[in-house]
Structure 1
């Protein structure tokens, strides 16, 4: 039968710069199951290094290290973690308990990495702590326990998964004499129950309690009393060797994630100020991105609504073409040509754009206005809505009535606030023409107004932009609409037009209507001396521009999110440095590299998600503030934005938490445990 532990020519060398320092030299040892061995030596003799090799915390530089015939010196990090988890229990001089966990949780920890169910490990931890005299203290944290009680918790932890081999590193070094005696008694009892005890000490009195003493000096075995002749392997009186029911893979994954999440929450709660500052950085980034997207989305929607309402469903046609040969003069559009266009399939109506700039006066106020010759479809073509009074009727068009409809700009320029313009007389005349005397021509009909004489118009209605958006598109000047018959006879006697709008009924595709319109007018004019542009196509180009602008603004906001992510990575790297000893403890009791990596990744993702939630709330608060401050632009944070924010938060945590997590998982258990 092979020994439980066997070392064959084991050496462990450390490199300090260009110098190689031997810590162990040609160690040959065999330890049988159930032995009580003390490794003694002065500081620097190599006893701690030997213990690290025996406990699979470190690997030898040369030689073989066998456990039950298995060569542990050739195993990888996760396989060594499995050996530590299933066979070893550690009792450290400084206890190495996790401060944020109570006694029971500290004792349970090895079983978590062994895949034990929560109820099974809780029951065993309570039984072990009760047996060790801590039944009333199992819910106390380490700082609430004495040194002896903390050492008993570490013993319970070492026995959690069975603890076939217990390595005790100076277990009495930090205890008073009475607690030290009790500790040695406990170790003897554990040995009598069948545990193999390897005690590392510099105290000869403590070493005398062991059955076998191995003395080291300068990394070599100076003396070995050997396995006592009367030694016989002892059958465990209690079933200390635990074989946990591992359950399903899904159950093990649940426990792994639950432990990682609990650890992350405890770590974040333990560093509240740092957590709050890190969350603030992420929340500012998320709030910036969500707010910018919501604000630009609202602005873009409003602008596109205005532009789309103004441009969609019509084809503007104007006199002139930049492609005409030099010297060629563009012809105006005659009434017969406009009627030919009106007869095309897919044309709902044609509105002639006849407009001049005049001076308008009411009482003591005057202003430059744009006077339009309006038709029945002008309000539809110009996307205007009647807000007060009436529009022109058939009688107005037939009798060339001197009536007018004004817009809000003209109203504000010519009337006092709150004053109704309905029924009032407005005088319009070329700029610089005296308004006096216009009243004498009020009854004139059927002839153009003589040059230098003002035309009186009775206001019958008020219109406003009908787009309903935050922005309105139209002329800079106020508008005065008068029947086109009145306009033609009293203001502009020309019958030809320089531009008109074709309103579509969408029974024929707009592109086809435009194609037929160009063909018809080109045939009538003999040359394409006009321009007819597709408003819908131009509107799609406009949408592309606004979409690009929205992405640009979102990119600017994403810079702050990137800065927040870098801050999280920095904080997590600091956390790894501060919690190196905790990482070493977890690895010593059986945590795999994947367990450590998952723990820090979950912490980073949780931190970013909390920051993302705060950022979403801040962006929602900002949107509400904007909506309260004004009514034209409605800003909303959609559920889609919430989902994207949380997804982005998770990705930021995952990306920027990877480097710290990998660094934590790559730590050597020995190096991690030696840091304070």
Structure 2
């Protein structure tokens, strides 16, 4: 039967600049299962290097290192981690316990990487600690334990997964004489239970407790007392020192994620100020992106709603065409032509609005206003709503009544604050209006018949309207508006029957593009030339949406710059964290953590940090939105659940991207180098 451990010509060399330093030189050695071996030598003799090679913490430069016949010198980092996890237990001179874990959690750590269930780990750790006299101290942190107690915790940890081979590196070096004696007694007891003990020490008295002594000098085996003649191979380990049942692959994955999450939370709690500063960068970035998206979404939604409502289902048609030959006079639209358009399939109605600018007066106040010949649908087409009084009714249209509805702008210009406009008489006339009702007048332009000179048209105000667009977009004249019945407008102000512009309202039974095509064809046939123009409001609205969408992306990109800065800050913090926690990484690797386990731990920590920052950022955005909504009512800003989901997704992505480099750097550390750092 082959030895449990065998070294064949093993050498371990280090480079110091151009100098090659052999820490181990052509070491040949074999150790049987169940031996109690002491490796002794002065400082610099190579005993610690030999222990690192034997424990799969370091690879030899030359030679073969076999465990149960398997050449460990040819294994990769994760395969070596598997050997450490399944075969070895380590007892270090400085204990190497994780300070943020209690005794039970430290003892149970190797079982985490073996995939054991939480209950199995706890039961096993409690049994081992009780067996070692720490039953009442298992919930204490390392700084609450004495040196001897900490060393007992490290023994429990070495036995967690079975610990067939226990490597003890100067286990009594940091203990008082009594604790040292107790430690050696425990090692003898473990050896009697079947564990292979390899004790590294420089103290000959400590080495005398072993049954075999190997002396090193200058990296070579100087003396070896050999395997005792009466040595017998041990049977299977039993009782508290037996191996822990291995968990399934899925169980191991669950344990790894849980351990990574717990470690991340503990690390962030242990460095609250640094965590807060790191979160601040991510919070500002997320708040900037979410706030900009919320603001642009609210503004875009309000504008598109108003514009879409105004444009949807309309095809404006107007006199004139930029492509007409020079000198060609565009024809106005006759009533018969408008009736022909009304008869087209897909046309719901055709509205004609006549408009001109006049001077309006009430009392001593006058102002230029836009006077409209309104129809029943004018309020909807102009995006106006009635706020006081009534709108023009069928009797007003049928009787050509001299009544009017004015908008808020006209009321502010013509009436005093708080003064009611309902029932008052408004005088309208072209150009300036003489105070005595005498001379005045002038043409109305656009072919409209002027009010006779010296005569002003009186209109009784029956209602007041205001924009119905939420304040984001107002459609209509820059001047105040006065809406009078189109029949009155035609009799008193503009006697023409032809129109320069009309709107085609669609019922969507026919595609708008097809309606526009048929409209163009019919008008061209009636006029003999295409001396008119039109446009599809729905197509123009889609172009408008593309523009607003591009603007929203641009603003979001500006906000994302701050998120990028925050991500770089997280990466820097994580790199600092790796350098500060190098020894912790080494401990985890020594008890069996794979490179993937270490990467996962630091990636999860970066993601948790960024997600916490994202949550704070969303909350800040929500507070900002509430402040904006409280300060005004024309634009409602909301931070939706979708924004929360996007924030978490973006935060996680930032954590993954900027946590990858620190995680890879942590996973690439050599266990032996990591353990050597403080």
Q: TM-score range with shorter-chain normalisation?
A: over 0.9
1:443-489 deviation digits (Å, cap 9, x = unpaired): xxxx9521354322221111222344633222211101122233233
1:332-364 deviation digits (Å, cap 9, x = unpaired): 222332233233333333222321112212122
Greater shift in the superposed pair: 140-149 or 644-653: 644-653
C-alpha distance in 1 between matches for 2:247 and 2:147: 36
Give the secondary structure class of the aligned counterpart of 1:450.
Answer: coil
Give the secondary structure class of the aligned counterpart of 1:337.
Answer: helix
1:609 to 608, 611, 614: 611
> 1:115/1:398 Cα in 2 relative to 1: closer, same or farther (>3 Å)?
closer
Give the secondary structure class of the aligned counterpart of 1:479.
Answer: strand
Task: Find the counterpart in structure 2 of residue 362 from structure 1.
Answer: 362
Q: Is the 8 A contact 1:439 1:456 kept in 2?
A: no
Task: Find the counterpart in structure 2 of residue 568 from structure 1.
Answer: 570
1:332 aligns with 2:341: no
Q: Is the 8 A contact 1:373 1:486 kept in 2?
A: yes
Unmatched 5+ residue regions in structure 2? 442-448
Task: Find the counterpart in structure 2 of residue 6 from structure 1.
Answer: 6
C-alpha distance in 2 between matches for 1:362 and 1:428: 9
C-alpha distance in 2 between matches for 1:131 and 1:55: 25
Q: CA deviation at 1:439?
A: 13
1:35 aligns with 2:50: no
1:500 to 499, 502, 509: 502
Unmatched 5+ residue regions in structure 1? 442-446
1:645 to 640, 644, 647: 647
C-alpha distance in 1 between matches for 2:438 and 2:535: 41
Task: Find the counterpart in structure 2 of residue 474 from structure 1.
Answer: 476
Task: Find the counterpart in structure 2 of residue 403 from structure 1.
Answer: 403
Q: Is the 8 A contact 2:353 2:375 kept in 1?
A: no
C-alpha distance in 2 between matches for 1:642 and 1:165: 52
Q: CA deviation at 1:411?
A: 1.0
Q: CA deviation at 1:4?
A: 1.5
Greater shift in the superposed pair: 530-539 or 171-180: 171-180
State the TM-score, normalized to the length of structure 1: 0.95
Greater shift in the superposed pair: 539-548 or 117-126: 117-126
1:581 aligns with 2:620: no
C-alpha distance in 2 between matches for 1:651 and 1:337: 62
Alignment of 1:198-597 (within 5 A): 198-235=198-235, 238-239=238-239, 242-437=242-437, 449-468=451-470, 470-597=472-599
1:621 aligns with 2:623: yes
Give the secondary structure class of the aligned counterpart of 1:502.
Answer: strand
Q: CA deviation at 1:580?
A: 0.7
Q: CA deviation at 1:386?
A: 2.4
Task: Find the counterpart in structure 2 of residue 147 from structure 1.
Answer: 147
> 1:435/1:536 Cα in 2 relative to 1: closer, same or farther (>3 Å)?
farther
Give the secondary structure class of the aligned counterpart of 1:357.
Answer: strand
C-alpha distance in 2 between matches for 1:501 and 1:311: 10
C-alpha distance in 2 between matches for 1:165 and 1:222: 23
C-alpha distance in 2 between matches for 1:668 and 1:52: 11
> 1:395/1:68 Cα in 2 relative to 1: closer, same or farther (>3 Å)?
closer
1:502-529 deviation digits (Å, cap 9, x = unpaired): 2223333322222222122212221111
C-alpha distance in 1 between matches for 2:381 and 2:121: 79
Give the secondary structure class of the aligned counterpart of 1:130.
Answer: helix
C-alpha distance in 2 between matches for 1:435 and 1:456: 14
1:115-171 deviation digits (Å, cap 9, x = unpaired): 222222212211211121111111100000111111111111111112111111111
Q: Is the 8 A contact 1:195 1:236 kept in 2?
A: no
1:404-454 deviation digits (Å, cap 9, x = unpaired): 21111111111122211111111222333314317999xxxxx95213543
C-alpha distance in 2 between matches for 1:200 and 1:45: 11
Give the secondary structure class of the aligned counterpart of 1:370.
Answer: strand
State the TM-score, normalized to the length of structure 2: 0.95
Q: Is the 8 A contact 1:349 1:377 kept in 2?
A: no
Give the secondary structure class of the aligned counterpart of 1:292.
Answer: helix
Give the secondary structure class of the aligned counterpart of 2:417.
Answer: coil
1:673 to 654, 658, 675: 675
> 1:86/1:18 Cα in 2 relative to 1: closer, same or farther (>3 Å)?
same
C-alpha distance in 2 between matches for 1:448 and 1:396: 22
C-alpha distance in 1 between matches for 2:409 and 2:35: 102
Q: Is the 8 A contact 2:433 2:440 kept in 1?
A: no
C-alpha distance in 1 between matches for 2:457 and 2:237: 119
> 1:366/1:4 Cα in 2 relative to 1: closer, same or farther (>3 Å)?
same
Q: Is the 8 A contact 1:588 1:669 kept in 2?
A: yes
1:656 to 658, 662, 666: 658
Task: Find the counterpart in structure 1 of residue 445 from structure 2.
Answer: none
C-alpha distance in 2 between matches for 1:599 and 1:257: 8
C-alpha distance in 2 between matches for 1:541 and 1:237: 78
Q: CA deviation at 1:501?
A: 1.6
Task: Find the counterpart in structure 1 of residue 193 from structure 2.
Answer: 193
Task: Find the counterpart in structure 1 of residue 26 from structure 2.
Answer: 26
Q: Is the 8 A contact 2:34 2:196 kept in 1?
A: yes
Task: Find the counterpart in structure 2 of residue 44 from structure 1.
Answer: 44
Alignment of 1:90-105 (within 5 A): 90-105=90-105
C-alpha distance in 1 between matches for 2:665 and 2:522: 75
Q: Is the 8 A contact 1:430 1:452 kept in 2?
A: no
C-alpha distance in 1 between matches for 2:546 and 2:43: 75
Task: Find the counterpart in structure 1 of residue 88 from structure 2.
Answer: 88
Aligned-residue Cα RMSD (Å) equals 2.1
Q: CA deviation at 1:234?
A: 4.2
C-alpha distance in 1 between matches for 2:333 and 2:406: 27
